Amino acid sequence: MSVTRSSAGPVQDLVPVRRALLTVFDKTGLIDLGKALAERGVEILSTGGTAKALRDAGIAVVDVSEVTGFPEVFDGRVKTLHPKVHGGLLFRREVPSHVENARALGISPIDLLVVNLYPFEKAAATPGAPADDVIEMIDIGGPAMVRAASKNFASVAVVTSAEDVTALVDELSAKGGATSLKFRRDLAGRAFMRTAAYDAAIATWMNNDTFPSKLTLTAERSQLLRYGENPHQKGALYRLPDVGEATIAHATQHSGKELSYNNILDAGAALEAARFLMYPCAVVIKHKNPCGAATHPSDLLDAFKRAHAGDPLSAYGGIVAFNRPVTEAVAEAIATSDKFFEVIIAPGFEGEALGILTSRTKWGKNVRILETHVAMDAREPVRGVLDVRSVSGGLLVQDRDASIETEFTVTTKRQPTRDEWRDLRFAWEICRHVTSNAICFAKDSTLVGCGAGQMSRVDSVMLAARKAGDRARGAVMASDAFFPFADGILAAADAGVTAVIHPGGSIRDMDVIAACDARDLALVTTGYRHFRH
């Protein structure tokens, strides 16, 4: 790459690094870098704790205060905000007037800046952190220097991450102690992305408006995918800041092939479904919809067996999520020749569970096992992360559907039995994770039939009834939205359903209630709708 500017000479491709400024909060790799620079005769400028760490390692350092002639003040809040620092980063070496100004003012060039910023994101994410402590982690001098050096990438290299330190040492070795223009521009691009993300994190923390006039999102690319939803599409996974709850993006993958775009979508759906269930549960997902789910007050193995039995045909090649650590007994039940899962998700894996899952079947070596490390408990509040979707030319943003209803109204003459109440609550929590129009049949805290994504609610009822078969006898039904007519209720009753839960709110609610009374069904309303498009 060659760059020329008006009223200036050509920019040099190779710029020798003779003078560097190192000031870092995270000192990982600092000493090795300092030694590498010192061995090349580079003059190292530094500040505070960074300078002390380098000196303690026997590396010669010049304090920035010696260069500026001004001490660090206000507990280190001001130390690099000085013309001899910013001038050394910003003046254009190819512009004669800049060079003459710098010489007259005693400003020497700085060819390399190594900075990592105060960990504001970590401080802001710490539960209960005092506001004053978070504010102190807003870096001022660091971003200012990073922006200055990045703007002047024609002459200055700027490093803002440990990964770039390794690349810098390799570049200096390959280029005889110099950096190339392409390398400097690439570094500058990454540096501007870092300051943009940093400012976005601060703006988000400072702003109390859920939907601000300017939405800033910051995410770190965690992996490139082989392709997107289809082979002709490209794809990548980006990780949002850790909010302290179980997530797919922050999970540890223990085995198997790389996750695909569709794996990640399905894994996210499975995790969300498991998160909202109170008791130990297993949820099996196929194409983002639950095809099997079950809970048990204490026995995760029993929950898994019933979840898989709910629809074993659809479960084959699906994704299973647990809200409790997987035991060896559960792993034994999963790893059988008649089953096959693409992804297994859990907060943890006990004893030899991981070894069992990866070695007992032919598919075990390929299964992706994700450990969230964070417990899932429906009693814990869901963090305030926005739900963001793309549309043509924009983004749709909403807060997450995290409500957990506990107050219900029986609108029919017959009250649900104790067992029906248990199954109604379970079906209601599963139904919110099914694509609308969503219908779930449940029996014995087990999903036995599901109707998803149909244009007609009665069609969804018919699908769920067909899936449930004889298990519909004595089952309950949940609907994500009200029944506009009694036809769906009557179809469920014909299949053997004895109790129904839905939001209510239709202009024909009384017709639906009358139909239930005529068939001796118990009908419960929640007052909440849970569409999932």
* Catalytic residue numbers, as ranges: 151, 287
Neighbours of 381 (CB within 10 A): 9
Number of H helices, E strands in the chain: 19, 23
What ranges make up the beta strands (E) of 354-505? 368-371, 386-391, 394-399, 409-410, 439-442, 447-451, 476-479, 499-502
Cβ atoms of residues 25 and 117 within 8 Å: yes
> What one-character DSSP code corresponds to residue 446?
B
CA dist 490 and 487 (Å) reads 5
CA R_g for the chain: 30
Tokens, residue 329: 């007994």
Cα-to-chain-centroid distance, residue 141: 29
CA dist 464 and 440 (Å) reads 7
CA dist 36 and 20 (Å) reads 12
Tokens, residue 16: 């020798």
DSSP of 133-197: HHHHT--SHHHHHHHHHHHTTTT-EEE-SHHHHHHHHHHHHHTTSEE-HHHHHHHHHHHHHHHHH
CA dist 203 and 214 (Å) reads 10
- In the chain, how long is the greatest CA-to-CA distance? 97
CA dist 381 and 124 (Å) reads 18
The residues facing 295 across adjacent strands are 281
- Which residues touch 287 (CB under 8 Å, ≥6 apart)? 266
Tokens, residue 519: 């068939």
- Which residues touch 104 (CB under 8 Å, ≥6 apart)? none
Cβ atoms of residues 11 and 155 within 8 Å: yes
Three-state secondary structure along 457-487?
Answer: HHHHHHHHHHHHHHHHCCCEEEECCCCCCCH
Q: Is 167 exposed, middle or buried (0-12, 13-18, 19+ CB in 10 A)?
A: middle
Cβ atoms of residues 26 and 33 within 8 Å: no
DSSP of 11-27: PPS-EE--EEEEEESS-
Instruction: Find tokens 């204490």 and name the residue.
Output: 298
